[in-house]
Amino acid sequence: MSSNSATLPAASGRGDTRYRVLTAISLAHFLNDMMQSLILALYPILKGNYHLSFAEIGLLTFTYQCTASLQQPLVGLVTDRRPMPRALPLAMGATLLGLLLLSQATTLPLLLLAAALVGTGSAIFHPESSRVARLASGGRHGFAQSLFQLGGNGGTAAGPLLAALIILPGGQHSVAWFALAALLAIVVLWQVGNWYRAHLAAPAPRSARPSTPPLSPANTRLALAVLIGLVIGKYTYLASLHSYFTFYLMQHFALDARNAQLYLFGFLFAVAAGTLLGGPLGDRIGRRSVIWLSVLGAIPFALLLPHAGLTGTLLLSMAVGFILSSAFSAILVFAQELVPGKVGTISGLFFGLAFGIAGLAAALLGWLADRWGIVGIYQLCAWLPLSGLIALALPDTRHR
């Protein structure tokens, strides 16, 4: 593994899309988010074994998400000034330690520490890997971000499925087996780091010129504010499904934990599929159009979800996941183009915001679920996608 040419393409030819690099970073994203999703998949076991309340379940999500969210913008800011190719395998090392602790923890403080370690790994991984995806895109930024996000959402979807097959039968200690996935990710990211380091050392093309912002400073601030608002609304709603969908199915439809995990997998699979569509579609028809279609198209399905039967709940949740998830790649690339030269900072800000909002929302929704019941929470959250109407205020960057 001492030479990047052994497994990944050379760093020259910056205008070409580096599919092997994108595939490698997407695989690493798959493994990273699959391991992170095990925290959510463990909730039914942890709740039963240690008699946790919904508020304490929300606190676990809050710890993991906020550990990741608070550090990601700082990591992005630092690496914009000084890229760190070797930070990628080190990030996976923190996730490895968190998984091993999660498999053995028997008290809430140790569970929180394990979640914090996994969150730290995520905080380092996402800004730098998003930069690698953009560097390897060959100008197809939406496609590259979608492929990168597809890995993450695919891993998130695989977590509940693997939990149903391995963790629920084997118990909490079986989480330790997923340390093998962390070791594989470290190997992959070491190779990606070799390519990344060689890319940074290669001379820039003579024709390369500094990019200029597509909007005036005032319109840039407005656009960023709207994009941040969209992320807040989107991830607050998705937190209700990621963290509590299995409990909703178990209580409202009397499903057992295993079948509820399979339904959660269906929702998360739809999220992964929608992610793959959003970026390339944004390259073709424009980021703003994709954002409009995504956030506005999800509204009717979300409003119907709390009133559907079991089959309808699955189909509607998949429709909402598919449509909503198509927006994130477009939102992220839109923001990166608004502030040229700050890929790490913008990626860290938006990934961190997504993690942080999801964590805060999970904690708040858990507290409310203890008081109003899980069914009441889903009736309330059905209205959240209406916040996507602020997308109508996005400035059009094509006129500049």
- pLDDT per residue over 311-354, tens digit each? 999 999 999 989 988 887 788 888 888 888 777 778 777 777 77
List Cβ neighbours of 217 (8 Å cut-off, separation of 6 or more). Answer: none
Q: How many CB atoms lie within 10 A of CB 206?
A: 6
Termini Cα distance of the chain:
46
Query: What is the DSSP secondary structure assignment for residue 166, as one 8-state letter?
Result: I
Give the Cα separation of 19 and 271 in Å (integer): 22
Query: What is the DSSP secondary structure assignment for residue 308, as one 8-state letter?
Result: S
The residue ranking higher by pLDDT, 345 or 303, is: 303
Residue 2: pLDDT over 60:
no
Q: What mean pLDDT, rounded, does the chain reach?
A: 81
Q: How many CB atoms lie within 10 A of CB 315?
A: 17
Q: How far is CA 308 from the centre of its chain?
A: 27
Among 71-85, 98-112, 131-145, 371-385, the range of highest mean pLDDT: 98-112
What is the mean predicted confidence (pLDDT) over 39-58?
80
Residue 13: pLDDT over 50:
no
List Cβ neighbours of 149 (8 Å cut-off, separation of 6 or more). Answer: 29, 275, 279, 328, 329
In which residue are the tokens 């490895």 written?
96
Identify the pLDDT of residue 398.
59
Among 135-144, 180-189, 216-225, 366-375, the range of highest mean pLDDT: 180-189
Residue 243 lies in a domain: yes
Identify the pLDDT of residue 6.
40
Decide: 355 and 72 in contact? Cβ < 8 Å. Answer: yes
Identify the pLDDT of residue 203.
64
- Helix H or strand E encompassing 43: helix 43-50
List Cβ neighbours of 398 (8 Å cut-off, separation of 6 or more). Answer: 286
Identify the pLDDT of residue 337.
82
The residue ranking higher by pLDDT, 242 or 188, is: 188
What is the domain-level CATH number for residue 103?
Answer: 1.20.1250.20
Residue 378 lies in a domain: yes
Nearest to 126 by CA among 147, 158, 149: 149
What is the mean predicted confidence (pLDDT) over 43-58?
81
pLDDT in tens, 206-261: 444 556 777 788 888 888 888 888 888 888 888 788 778 888 898 889 888 778 87
Q: Is 14 helix (H, G, I), strand (E, B) or coil?
A: coil
What is the domain count for the chain? 1
Residue 10 lies in a domain: no
Residue 143 lies in a domain: yes
Nearest to 123 by CA among 153, 83, 90: 90
Decide: 83 and 196 in contact? Cβ < 8 Å. Answer: yes
Question: pLDDT exceeding 90 applies to what percent of the chain?
Answer: 13
- Helix H or strand E encompassing 331: helix 310-338
Q: What are phi and psi of 13, to 5 degrees?
A: 70, 60
pLDDT in tens, 382-398: 898 888 888 888 877 65
Residue 223 lies in a domain: yes
The overall longest dimension of the chain from CA atoms, in Å, is 64
The contacts found for 209-213 with CB under 8 angstroms, 24 or more apart, are 210/340, 210/341, 211/340, 211/341, 212/340, 213/338, 213/339, 213/340
Residue 12 lies in a domain: no
Residue 18: pLDDT over 70:
yes
Decide: 174 and 38 in contact? Cβ < 8 Å. Answer: no
In which residue are the tokens 């909007």 written?
215
Nearest to 126 by CA among 36, 2, 257: 36
Residue 236 lies in a domain: yes
Give the Cα separation of 355 and 352 in Å (integer): 5
Range of the domain at 131: 18-201+214-399
Residue 299: pLDDT over 80:
yes
Residue 12: pLDDT over 50:
no
Amino acid identity, position 107: T
